[in-house]
Amino acid sequence: MEEKCRRTSVCSVGIISVVSKGESVEKIKTKKYAQFIFPQQRILQKNAKNAISKIRAVFLFLFSLCHVLAQSSPIFAQKFKDMEQSNITPPKKKTERSTAKTLLQHIERIIELAENSKLDADFYKKAKTNINFVAKTMKLTESQAVIFSLFVEKSDSNDISISEIAKYAGCRTIKAIAMMGEIDELEKRRMVRCCREDKTIRYRIPREVIDALQQNKPYQYAPKENLSIDDFFEEIANLFDERYDKELTHEALVGEIKMLLADNLHLSICQQIKEMRFFEYDENAVVLLLLFCHLFVRDNDDSINFYDIERYFEKGDFRYLKSELKDADSELFDLRLIENRNDGGFEDRELFCLTNKAKTELLGELNIKENQAKNKKDMILHSTIAEKKMFYNADESKQISQLADLLAEENFKSVNQRLKNKGMRTGFACLFYGAPGTGKTETVYQIARQTGRDIFMVDISQTKSMWFGESEKRIKEIFERYRLAVKNSEIAPILLFNEADAVIGKRKDVTSGNVAQTENAIQNIILQEMENLEGIMIATTNLTQNLDKAFERRFLYKIEFCKPSLEAKQNIWQSILPDISQNDAERLATRFDFSGGQIENIARKSTVDSIISGQEPAFEVLEDYCRQEKLEKERVRIGFYS
């Protein structure tokens, strides 16, 4: 009986819901509760209709009652009106709010699924939605979308290799190599950049690609058209920099240059180059001419040698160009666009420059001086040098003060003019020598800051080359660039040979080999340049006992930097560590015979310690630092001694 009641109840509910939806009896048979409906089908339908009729009657009664109450009470009338006007609907089932994923999120998902996946069919199946989204958004193939995503994962490095990609995906390198064609397509679209140097291939993701992804936009390389003359040379600089870094092949460089010229024919230089007779058949001449213009505009380089040119061309092309330039057989000579550098009335067959005609006709749209001011290559600007208090012994202080006064621009010009009137050399060569850490280099910086002079820094290591004759050319180039810097600067910069021991030491016996001959040749060039110097040269060295006598004669000012006196050391301690007492500074100065550089090392350690611990180190800690700074320990005698 109980089972029968339960079935009837279920049946009634089922019939009411079905009938209320207007479903036919045939459809009812397909419902899961159809077993309860038959064979009493008609009776149950009748009961359902009666139930619905009763429910409607109840609703009508309640509505009539509300209407009567509304007429008898103003307050209730307003409530009833609000009920009529409101569109009350049953609450909908809450659903989780769906938000569209960004491009980066799809890429991130591809990266997650790709890790150790071997990039097999199962991976492509799992990541299908994400791969399709990235491929469609960025107009890539599926394989390109995957490999691009893996490059993005490594985008914090400028040195991504194919083997790294393969290792991340857990597959053999050969599988990643098979995708090189897809990577080449990404490179053509500038979504990845490739460096091919020393038989290795490395990749990186450009910054502008990452920026586009962060903005949820696909990266699109925009043509560089209708540029201003400044922006044109900025693009030329970018192309040559990419070629120098081996991120562009020579073929790609030629293609980019021709496209850039074609897109900017409103510029006089582009129009003129395109109309030159060699434009269509001698692409190397086009590249070489623009390279000369680029070096002159950016670096004020009017003395270009083969070393400057070599890296931008393929080896075979460079050998041919070198032969043409040596014999002045290039069309650039015929059109009077370049010429040999004239040095002291003699043409140097290995140095080249733009002619005045080329500068006037090709670069007339540019404000050359303004561009050169923006690109002071190899210069340390005096305005960027921080002020630093220096402590010297009495004799050093006097000499440095005299030199700083001499190099003040007003005094320097006056002295120069008087020397010139007397037929004397006007250049000033100075030697700062002494133990390491005594402030030689920092003194040059502070003099430059005080006198408003920039510093033309010479990196000695860059002057040495394994190629025969190349080192001598580089030294000549340094002095040529310095001469141009002096000529184009209102105040002559300081030519600084820092730690010059390697180039001003005693000359070697020429019978000892090619290296000795090269080093002697370099020294001879420097000696000759010092004779003809117009400007200020300062060299610093630790090893004066090895100084060649010929150099010693050519330095007008020679200042020895000794280790600081007791008083100077105490002042240095208190200047660098102002929180220590005068008594502690005196004790440290007395106990430890340090140079200013060594004291600065200890001060830096102390500062780092205070940042980490949140408190100033105790005097005992400073003493420990001092003991650690001394690499040479005091010898402890063992055995018998008197």
The share of the chain scoring above pLDDT 70, in percent, equals 77
Per-residue pLDDT, 13: 40
Residue 540 parent element (H or E): strand 536-541
Given a cut of 60, is residue 397 above it in pLDDT? yes
CATH number for the domain that contains residue 584:
1.10.8
Q: How many domains does the chain have?
A: 5
Per-residue pLDDT, 455: 92
Dig out the tokens for 193 from the structure. 């950049």
CATH number for the domain that contains residue 129:
1.10.10.10
Q: Which single residue is written with the structure tokens 């390697």?
A: 502
Query: Strands 379-380 and 338-343, how do they pair?
Result: unpaired
Summarize the confidence of residues 222-245 as an average pLDDT: 89
- Single out the residue in 180, 214, 248 at which a domain terminates: 214
Are 569 and 437 a contacting pair, CB within 8 Å? no
What would you report as the CA-atom Rg of the chain, rounded to the nearest whole angstrom? 42
Domain match, 261 and 153 both: no
Distance CA 234, CA 348 (A): 30
Are 537 and 430 a contacting pair, CB within 8 Å? yes
Domain match, 176 and 303 both: no
Given a cut of 70, is residue 110 above it in pLDDT? yes
Query: Strands 346-354 and 494-497, how do they pair?
Result: unpaired
Least confident of 7-16, 54-63, 534-543: 7-16
Summarize the confidence of residues 312-332 as an average pLDDT: 91
When pLDDT is cut at 50, 70 and 90, the band that residue 368 belongs to is low
Per-residue pLDDT, 85: 53
Domain match, 397 and 533 both: yes
Summarize the confidence of residues 301-326 as an average pLDDT: 89
Q: Which single residue is written with the structure tokens 């079905």?
A: 18
Domain match, 208 and 241 both: no
Distance CA 544, CA 17 (A): 108
Summarize the confidence of residues 336-347 as an average pLDDT: 78
Least confident of 307-316, 384-393, 429-438, 497-506: 497-506
Domain match, 489 and 387 both: yes
Summarize the confidence of residues 111-127 as an average pLDDT: 93
- Single out the residue in 327, 344, 375 at which a domain terminates: 375
Summarize the confidence of residues 22-42 as an average pLDDT: 46
Per-residue pLDDT, 599: 82
Residues of the domain holding 397 = 382-561
Given a cut of 70, is residue 174 above it in pLDDT? yes
- Single out the residue in 502, 535, 561 at which a domain terminates: 561
When pLDDT is cut at 50, 70 and 90, the band that residue 462 belongs to is low
Residue 163's alpha-carbon distances to 38, 197, 245, 429, in angstroms, are: 72, 16, 21, 53
What is 264-296 written as a DSSP string? TTTSHHHHHHHHSTTTTT-HHHHHHHHHHHHHH
Per-residue pLDDT, 345: 56
When pLDDT is cut at 50, 70 and 90, the band that residue 480 belongs to is confident
Domain match, 72 and 41 both: yes
Higher pLDDT, 150 or 28: 150
Distance CA 343, CA 351 (A): 9
Distance CA 161, CA 145 (A): 18
Per-residue pLDDT, 251: 85
Q: Is residue 220 included in any domain, yes or no?
A: no
Q: Is residue 245 included in any domain, yes or no?
A: yes
Given a cut of 60, is residue 87 above it in pLDDT? no
Average pLDDT, the chain: 78
Write the pLDDT tens digit of every residue in 235-285: 999 999 888 888 788 888 898 898 899 999 999 999 999 988 888 889 999
When pLDDT is cut at 50, 70 and 90, the band that residue 523 belongs to is confident
Domain match, 457 and 522 both: yes
Domain match, 326 and 461 both: no
Given a cut of 90, is residue 199 above it in pLDDT? no
Summarize the confidence of residues 216-224 as an average pLDDT: 83
Residue 15 parent element (H or E): helix 2-20
Per-residue pLDDT, 22: 47
Q: Is residue 199 included in any domain, yes or no?
A: yes
When pLDDT is cut at 50, 70 and 90, the band that residue 461 belongs to is low
Summarize the confidence of residues 278-301 as an average pLDDT: 89
Given a cut of 50, is residue 8 above it in pLDDT? no
Given a cut of 70, is residue 507 above it in pLDDT? no
Helices and strands: H and E segment counts in the chain: 33, 10
Domain match, 391 and 537 both: yes
Q: Is residue 242 included in any domain, yes or no?
A: yes
Domain match, 545 and 410 both: yes
Q: Is residue 94 included in any domain, yes or no?
A: no
Distance CA 180, CA 311 (A): 25
Summarize the confidence of residues 160-179 as an average pLDDT: 89
Q: List the end-to-end C-alpha distance of the chain, in Å, as a whole number.
A: 124
What is 181-217 written as a DSSP string? HHHHHHHHTTSSEEEEETTEEEEE--HHHHHHHHTT-
Per-residue pLDDT, 78: 60
Q: Is residue 622 included in any domain, yes or no?
A: yes
Residue 298 zone, left/alpha/beta (φ > 0; ψ -120 to 50; rest)? alpha
Given a cut of 90, is residue 127 above it in pLDDT? yes
Identity of the amino acid at 283: E
Per-residue pLDDT, 264: 93
Are 104 and 214 a contacting pair, CB within 8 Å? yes
For residue 563, give the 3-state DSSP assignment: coil
Least confident of 42-51, 159-168, 189-198, 416-425: 42-51
Distance CA 274, CA 279 (A): 6
Given a cut of 60, is residue 35 above it in pLDDT? no
Are 424 and 552 a contacting pair, CB within 8 Å? no
Distance CA 228, CA 393 (A): 56
Higher pLDDT, 629 or 276: 276
- Helix extents (H) in 497-565: 501-504, 514-531, 549-554
When pLDDT is cut at 50, 70 and 90, the band that residue 43 belongs to is low
Domain match, 425 and 530 both: yes
Given a cut of 50, is residue 378 above it in pLDDT? yes
Are 457 and 498 a contacting pair, CB within 8 Å? yes
Per-residue pLDDT, 450: 93
When pLDDT is cut at 50, 70 and 90, the band that residue 38 belongs to is very low
Given a cut of 60, is residue 470 above it in pLDDT? yes
Least confident of 194-208, 256-270, 368-382, 611-625: 368-382
Q: Is residue 635 included in any domain, yes or no?
A: no
Q: Is residue 610 included in any domain, yes or no?
A: yes
Per-residue pLDDT, 89: 44
Domain match, 401 and 547 both: yes
CATH number for the domain that contains residue 524:
3.40.50.300
Least confident of 170-179, 244-253, 362-371: 362-371
